[in-house]
Chain A
Amino acid sequence: MEIAMVPKELWKPPNELDVQKVGNVICSFLDTVSTSYGRATHYNTKEEQQKAEIESHNTMLGFDRDLYIVFLTLPGITDRSVQMGMKNLLSSQRNGVPTSFLSSGQERTVLYYLIKSIPPPRMLKMVEGLRVGSEQLGLKKANNARTRKLILRTLLSTGRLELWSVKYRKKMKAALTHAWGQRKASIIREILKRDERLWNPKEQSIIQKSVNKFCVSSRVKPIYECIRFIFGVRDRVTLTLFREFERAKVDLHEGKHLPREVLEGIRSTYHKDIPKDKVLEAVKSSLTTQQKMAVQKQAKAAGIDIAMDPRNYDPIKLYIYAFECGLTDEITKALDEKARKAASALPVHYKKVGVVVDVSKSMEGDGTQKLRPVATALAMRDMLQYVGEECQTVYCGGDMTDERLAKPQGATGLAEKLVQVLNVSPMPDVVFVISDGYENAPAGRFAEVVKHLNEMGIKVPIFHMNPVFAAETGKARELAPELVSTMPIQQPAAMGPAMLRELVQHDPIKGVNMLLHIALKAGSNELRKELIHA
């Protein structure tokens, strides 16, 4: 195996800290942020999941704030983890806590990068949570100047403000009111109602400090109109979406550029006699990428053709879609391309790779995450085909009618499959076992076999990749504790960081710096330039 060398050492642990402890804290945090959705799994309640998450975040933040910040930009971190991380950072001070290599300005840069990386509905929900705290999200209150500036910069400088104003207007109103304060928001609304040529110097100053400062100067007029729209002022509309919003109330077909849910809302209020399918037909050209996937079934049933480009979706979503609607050649091609690309970004390469894929019944997942574990497993399997020059794959359980789309079924006998994948000539250089960690044919046999292999002198490294975070252990469930490294993985892009876990355990300085390198390479351009290329 080869690992790319890190060009620059950014981080060193404090001298007084035990190397082992450093590795444990960081690995536990990485496990959490790469697999936890805060929802129930097949095995744990939602409350248990959330408690384990909060603890993991607090430990890491208390350990090293800068590592905490940058690790949130690693590929494969869940949106939920980013939300939680942001809230923790915004509700806590930088002064007087362990930090190592970032300046305050650089922390702000990362925070801005992170808030933009979350999908808008989640970002707005997080902003709402900042105001009042959200027990459900495990979030503390963060109502300070720094937070307010971040919110305003994010909302007012986005190139999608017109769309967000019409699609999320209530949440946008709440977010802007939070950032400005109730009183100032009212004042701004009243000022913007009037022609700007009539503003007095004090009003100009208010708008300059509260609005213009956060956006590009050439775009202030549309931004004023967006703010007016958000706060319910609907005269003097010039922007396309706002005009369509008003006109669609009279003639539904005038709303063809509106978001689907907005036009559906107008239909259900003003045009109850028009069937829902008409909305889909009207807006099909303006559907988001995610919506195009979500409505395929409905569209087909209604005879509406909505083109969906599989290249725009992550491989896990594609597999979940394929389980429901079938696997087309186009989807297969997109999956292969993504797998190749993900494999090329890994910091390691092998000659021959062995893969054991658990497709037993429990990989079906829980109601709220139905089919996600097996979809993740299949996406990982695809990527691993390109990690070595040669690859051999075996399956444990599963309906193998279509091997590409193996369906969860049957019991879990991983031990025999491990031996099977090794018992070939030449033997693989590495074996990856993709499984939720629940074994029953019988339980414990896998660990016995690994121990036996070691005694036989077979030293092929074995990695267990687990797409499920189990709250009862505070990490992903292990198949063979102390014998096999278990890496929690939610998507192929997260594999690079996951593969470095072992390095983090045994050589934290090297491992952590490698992780930082990956995070900075994938994250903010500005920070990458400042920290890597400086």
Chain B
Amino acid sequence: MPRTLTIEEILAGVGFGQPQTVGNMSVLPIIDEDGSAQDDDWAPPDVEVGTSHYGTVNMRNRNDERPTIVPTGAGWVTQQHAQDHAIPSAVLMEAKGTKSVDVACCIEESQGGFISRGAHEMLIIPASMRPSALAKREVKEYSKLWGEIQALNRTTGVDRSGGHLVYFLKHFQKQLDEFVAEFELVPKQVGAIVFVGRRVAGIERAPNYAYWEKIWIPLIRVCYGSLAIMHAKKWEGKYGHRLPLESQSKTLDELVAALNDLRAREVNMLRDRFEEESKRQIKCANAEQRLSTAELQTFASEKLCGQLVVDGSKATYPYVSCSCTS
């Protein structure tokens, strides 16, 4: 039965850390300070991946003891002469389990060949494509994201055309790597609210610290990093969350006070923006996958769409991943 709830309800039990801001991107860490919201039943995603047909991704959970959630929009770009692929929806996998996803997306248009199975490095597809990928998650058409990839390459000035995500990744490799250095994991972190420009770009929450540590780099590097690059192209690097230091301080004590005040205003600005979003109603569709007492559901609000995992036995939401729709 579809139901409604709010992001605020989903994130009950966790708090927020100090924001990090570089240029037009800010990250507000979601913190589980005392570990009470941890769900260690889920292992970080560590899967072997291969493709056997265009549009079919075969996965094996390498963790022998715990199930895992392969994140929404997980993708694999390899050095092999094989077509890179991504999955539009998250996948629940049991310990040692295998799964074939036959509604996967090709993200390398004119490259043929199948990916040999292996523990390939995972990325998460650009946030700008995730709503579209989710909307088409049940469509069996491997070319379904080519239009979005072409648009990404075009709007960001990549000088090669086609539905090849790897063109974007190579063109902006330096900037993408820099995001990883610029945004640091903090202790007890289990998620993040990501802002690009002055809007909430995405909300991510993991079941536990280890899971979060595993998916942070794929999220910040390509998923949200790509959005920051797109935004910068459009707005020439304006509209970040750093307020200017316009103090008239004459002593260092006054400067300290001015900095604290500035910081508080920056934090409040971010939290106000998030709060507005967190109180919106989101509509969840029926469960699409089940694993024991856990269910995967897709949801949408006025501005966000994504997926969550709800564990009926614990009344918690160990996993949330959503991006803005425009």
Contact = CB atoms under 8 A, between A and B. Distances in A.
Interface in B215-262: 240-242, 244-245, 247, 249-253, 255-256, 259
Contacts of A441: 18-21
Interface string B166-190: 0000000110011011111111000
A348 interface: no
Interface residues of B, number: 34
Given A42-B181, A456-B250, A440 B255 contact: no
A407 to B, nearest CB: 11
Given A361-B184, A442-B266, A419 B255 contact: yes
A435 to B, nearest CB: 12
A43 B187 contact: no
Contacts of B184: 360-362, 397, 410-412, 440
Interface in A492-511: none
Interface stretch (A8-16, A132-140, A284-292, A445-453): A445-453
A362 B259 CA distance: 24
Contacts of A444: 242
B23 interface: yes
Contact of A442 (B185, B242, B247): B242
Given A442-B21, A456-B250, A456-B255, A43 B178 contact: yes
Contacts of B266: 442
Binding site secondary structure of chain A: loop
Contacts of B19: 441-442
A443 B182 contact: yes
Given A443-B22, A448-B245, A409 B187 contact: yes
A44 B173 CA distance: 9
Interface residues of A, number: 37
A186 B47 CA distance: 56
A443 B186 contact: no
A456 B183 contact: no
A422 interface: yes
Contacts of B178: 43
A440 B22 contact: yes
Interface in B54-73: none
A440 B182 contact: yes
Given A411-B186, A452-B247, 19 more contacts: A42-B180, A43-B180, A361-B185, A362-B184, A399-B187, A409-B186, A419-B256, A440-B21, A441-B19, A442-B20, A442-B22, A443-B21, A443-B22, A445-B259, A448-B245, A453-B255, A456-B249, A456-B251, A472-B174
Contacts of B182: 362, 438, 440, 443
Contacts of A472: 174
A305 interface: no
A189 B264 CA distance: 78
A526 interface: no
A423 interface: yes
